[in-house]
Amino acid sequence: MKLSINWLREYVDFDCSLHELAHALTMAGLEVEESRELLRSELVALGGEGVADDVVFDVKVTPNRGDWLSVLGVAREVGALLDTSFRSPAPEVAVISPEASDLIRIRIEATDLCRRYVGVVIRNVTIGESPGWMKDRLIAAGMRPINNVVDVTNYVMLELGQPLHAFDYRLIRGPEIIVRRARAGEMITSLDGIHRELHKDMLVIADSERAVAIAGIMGGVDSEISKQTQDILIESANFNNVGVRRTSKRLNMVTESSYRFERGVDPSITAVAARRATELVQDLAGGEVASGIVDVYHDPVGAMEVTVRPERANLVLGASIDPDEMASYLRRLGIDTRPRNGVLICNVPSYRPDVTREIDLIEEIGRIYGYDNIDVTLPSGASQGKDSPEGSFRERLRVILMSCGAQEVLTHSLVPSRFAEVAGLGAECVRMRNPLSEELDAMRAALTPNLLQVVARNQAFGTTNANVFEIGKIYRQTQNGIDERLSIAGAMVGSLWRSAWGLPEKGLDVDFFACKGLVESLLSALGISGVRFVEVQDEPMLHATRGAKIMVGDTSLGFFGEASPAAREALDVRGRPCVYELDFGSLMAATPELLSYTELPRYPALYRHVAVVVADGIRFGDVKQVVLESGQGKVEEVDLLDDYRGEQVGSGRRSLTVSMVFRSRERTLTDEEVNAVLEGIKGALQTRLAASFR
């Protein structure tokens, strides 16, 4: 809100500098965001008269303090802060013919949405320009002068915080003014020229035939003040904040009036504002008050009694303010305060609807005392801090993956819904009801599409090698609601080296086995044993014959493998990226809490290499299993040295060069013993897998 300092000075005296004033207001919660000089020449350039130089404060009014949305409200605060005198408005109105109810009758039908309605009819006004001083004020406040009557309504709103509306009285089919809900399908053309359909929950001001204004938001063009206007009806009313807000949102109309009503307008000011407007209209546009001031006020609001215990205030604030001091702070704020039996009894005026209980008064005491004057201490008592189990596990995972050379990334949870479809999760996709755009219409159902997108984006930037991971939430629609869970995933493409001149080309680029190696490194670093890798053909993210599920017992921890051609195409990624995605919770559950120490071997190991020739369909895993099963407990480790297919073994066959480590935990094995075991193994391979040896 823009606040003219010249205007402020009409209501409150202060002799501090404007810099000090701005600081005092800011430190009391009314932040002065900007202070700007407004020179006479500038006012003239903006259509004003430039009566005097001014300074304009741009203040940020918090939504709880509707009372600050006026010169009067800020003046009251300045008075309290600087403990200086503040003047209440006392408009003088000459009423010619009191209570001429044939000119205006007011009927409030929707009493829940309108607490008070004050109407004044002024006849024989002369519409014209406003005087220079008034134009200057309006311009300083950021409004545009229109004509003397409309300007008066705006002026009083800015000054007292009460939105007003002026109707051309002769264009209203009176005398009855009805405050009612709109009828279904009722239309109005508002002052901005838009023809609007009203909803039956919206409050309107109506004459005997039709709606003439959208209550608290905007008047209609049918009764607009024009140059020809002679008689006017000034409306000063108190509309319900929630009602105005709903209508304003529904019609997508935010006006100076709706803004104030939403934040609450003091019902005690309604009539004062009407009188102030009448006084100004008479001064500036002439005319006579023909109707008296008609005031319909049901359910009047008075001061509210709230008590505060000084010791409680000090306990909450961590201060030791004297109770008399507290009482004086509250009185300065216009809150009538008297001590009784050790507590302060406070009568909170109606312009402070935000103060309803003790804690609100404690805040007021704190504000005037100054937050800066409150001590700096720490809560007493020790307390043991700790991370969440997921939080600690997440840190472990980060360290392992970074040690594997992976770069951590953070990607958006708001993604296009097609990402879920790429991952085959379209049915489980959580969609936004009000998305920002089509590209942000869903929550991610998996991390891997995001990570492939990261790869694609980096490829576009010219970064062709990527090994990225993310630990983050995924979201899926299930029968029991939305399942939000942590997931851990990665994508790899290109070389694992940044510069690899002189190395053999084969094996430098990431492939299925590099990805598997990373997954295995992760599982092994976590101490997870008994992992099985099972072919998976139906995972949409994965290549149909280069993908695997990660199984521990009957639980699938996730999957990894080469990205499917469909996923590569959908995410516009080049090369042959590999991806992995594991369920964080399952991985955490599979991780042993404590790893136990294994005694180091005391006896030496013996090593043997065997080239096992088997049919193509036989997997390394099958060979390994037979070796372990037929090794008489002497085989410590089985590894693969080479996988050869070609002339030397004949078509349809492969030669697996397998290395074996033999060791006993009880004694030193002899060559003869190991050879005997090896013969047994070979025999088993021969019978069980039809293997031959090279």
Partner 1 sequence: MQRCNLTRLDVGFLEAVNMTAYDTLDNLKSAALSRVWAAGTSGELDAIETEYLGRKGELTQMLRSIGALPPDQRKDFGQALNLAKNQLAEAIARRRDELGDREISAALKNEAVDVTMPGRFFQIGGSHVLVDTLKKIKDIFIGLGYEIFESPEVELYDYNFAALNYPEEHPAQDEHMSFYITDDILLRTHTTAFQHRVMKNRKPPMRACTLGKCYRVDAVDATHGHTFHQVDCFAVGRGITMADLKGTLHTFASAMFGKNVDVRFRPDFFPFVEPGAEVAVTCTICDGRGCNVCKGSGWLELAGAGMIHPNVLEGAGIDSEEYTGFAFGFGVERMPMLMYGINDLRLFMDSDLRFLRQF
Interface with partner 1 in residues 449-468 (CB under 8 A): 454, 457-458, 461, 463, 465-468
On whether the CB atoms of residues 606 and 461 are closer than 8 A, the answer is no
By the rule CB under 8 A, 591 interacts with partner 1: no
**Considering beta carbons, is residue 295 or 360 the nearer one to partner 1?**
360
Per residue, what are the HEC states of 271-309? HHHHHHHHHHHHHHHCCEEEEEEEEEECCCCCCEEEEEC
Q: Shortest CA distance to 264 belongs to which of 153, 355, 362?
A: 355
By the rule CB under 8 A, 575 interacts with partner 1: no
Among 37, 129, 336, 390, binds partner 1 (CB under 8 A): 390
Find the shortest distance in angstroms from Cβ 436 to partner 1. 6
Q: What is the DSSP letter of 64?
A: T
Q: What is the footprint of partner 1 within residues 527-556 (CB under 8 A)?
A: none
Find the shortest distance in angstroms from Cβ 271 to partner 1. 26
By the rule CB under 8 A, 524 interacts with partner 1: no
**Considering beta carbons, is residue 150 or 466 the nearer one to partner 1?**
466
On whether the CB atoms of residues 161 and 67 are closer than 8 A, the answer is yes
By the rule CB under 8 A, 65 interacts with partner 1: yes
By the rule CB under 8 A, 505 interacts with partner 1: no
By the rule CB under 8 A, 199 interacts with partner 1: no
Among 90, 184, 376, 595, binds partner 1 (CB under 8 A): 376
Find the shortest distance in angstroms from Cβ 302 to partner 1. 22
Among 113, 346, 409, 610, binds partner 1 (CB under 8 A): 409
Rg of the chain on CA atoms, in Å = 40
Find the shortest distance in angstroms from Cβ 480 to partner 1. 13
Cα–Cα distance, 238 to 260 (Å, whole number)? 11
By the rule CB under 8 A, 679 interacts with partner 1: no
Find the shortest distance in angstroms from Cβ 411 to partner 1. 6
Cα–Cα distance, 581 to 550 (Å, whole number)? 10
Provide the token pair at 293: 């001031």
**Considering beta carbons, is residue 261 or 560 the nearer one to partner 1?**
261
Helix (H) or strand (E) holding 116: strand 114-123
In total, the chain counts a number of residues equal to 694
Find the shortest distance in angstroms from Cβ 398 to partner 1. 6
Provide the token pair at 76: 């009251």
By the rule CB under 8 A, 384 interacts with partner 1: yes
Burial 574-607 (b: 16+ CB within 10 A, else e): ebbbbbbbbbbebbbebbeeeeeeeeeeeeeebe
Q: Shortest CA distance to 492 belongs to which of 475, 477, 513, 473?
A: 513
By the rule CB under 8 A, 378 interacts with partner 1: yes
On whether the CB atoms of residues 586 and 555 are closer than 8 A, the answer is yes
Among 135, 181, 196, 263, binds partner 1 (CB under 8 A): 263
Q: What is the footprint of partner 1 within residues 25-64 (CB under 8 A)?
A: 26-29, 31, 62-64
Find the shortest distance in angstroms from Cβ 235 to partner 1. 23
By the rule CB under 8 A, 403 interacts with partner 1: yes
Find the shortest distance in angstroms from Cβ 472 to partner 1. 8
Provide the token pair at 162: 């009460």
Contact region for partner 1 (CB under 8 A) — 37-45, 116-124, 409-417, 534-542? 409-417
Site string for partner 1, 348-367 (x = CB under 8 A): ---------x-xx-xx--xx
By the rule CB under 8 A, 105 interacts with partner 1: no
**Considering beta carbons, is residue 193 or 389 the nearer one to partner 1?**
389
Contact region for partner 1 (CB under 8 A) — 76-84, 432-440, 615-623, 652-660? 432-440
Find the shortest distance in angstroms from Cβ 214 to partner 1. 17
Query: Rounded to the nearest 5 degrees, what angle is found at the Cα of 475, between the Cα atoms of 572 and 542?
Result: 40
Among 96, 194, 402, 676, binds partner 1 (CB under 8 A): 402
Cα–Cα distance, 551 to 590 (Å, whole number)? 10
Contact region for partner 1 (CB under 8 A) — 144-152, 208-216, 396-404, 528-536? 396-404
Find the shortest distance in angstroms from Cβ 510 to partner 1. 11
Cα–Cα distance, 282 to 83 (Å, whole number)? 35
Dump the DSSP string for 36-62.
EEE-HHHHHHTTS---S-EEEEEEE--
**Considering beta carbons, is residue 412 or 602 the nearer one to partner 1?**
412
**Considering beta carbons, is residue 66 or 547 the nearer one to partner 1?**
66
First to last CA, the chain: 90
**Considering beta carbons, is residue 45 or 432 the nearer one to partner 1?**
432
Q: What is the footprint of partner 1 within residues 303-332 (CB under 8 A)?
A: 315-319
What residue has token string 């099972």?
Answer: 534
Pairing status of strand 164-168 against strand 232-239: antiparallel
Site string for partner 1, 146-185 (x = CB under 8 A): ----------------------------------------
Among 19, 183, 412, 574, binds partner 1 (CB under 8 A): 412
Find the shortest distance in angstroms from Cβ 543 to partner 1. 23
Q: Find the helix packing angle between 270-285 and 148-160, rounded to 10°.
A: 150
The three-state secondary structure class of 196 is strand
Dump the DSSP string for 556-582.
EEEEEEEEPHHHHHHTT--S--EEEEE
On whether the CB atoms of residues 132 and 50 are closer than 8 A, the answer is yes
By the rule CB under 8 A, 382 interacts with partner 1: yes
Side chain identity at 21, as an amino acid letter? L
Among 52, 187, 242, 676, binds partner 1 (CB under 8 A): 242
By the rule CB under 8 A, 434 interacts with partner 1: yes
Cα–Cα distance, 197 to 185 (Å, whole number)? 6
Find the shortest distance in angstroms from Cβ 390 to partner 1. 5
> What residues have CB less than 8 Å from 162, skipping those under 6 apart?
70, 156, 236, 260, 265, 266, 269, 270, 272, 273
By the rule CB under 8 A, 375 interacts with partner 1: yes
Find the shortest distance in angstroms from Cβ 22 to partner 1. 11
Among 17, 383, 479, 596, binds partner 1 (CB under 8 A): 383
> What residues have CB less than 8 Å from 644, skipping those under 6 apart?
611, 654, 655, 656, 657
**In Å, how far are 103, 178, 239 from 219, measured between CA atoms?**
20, 14, 14
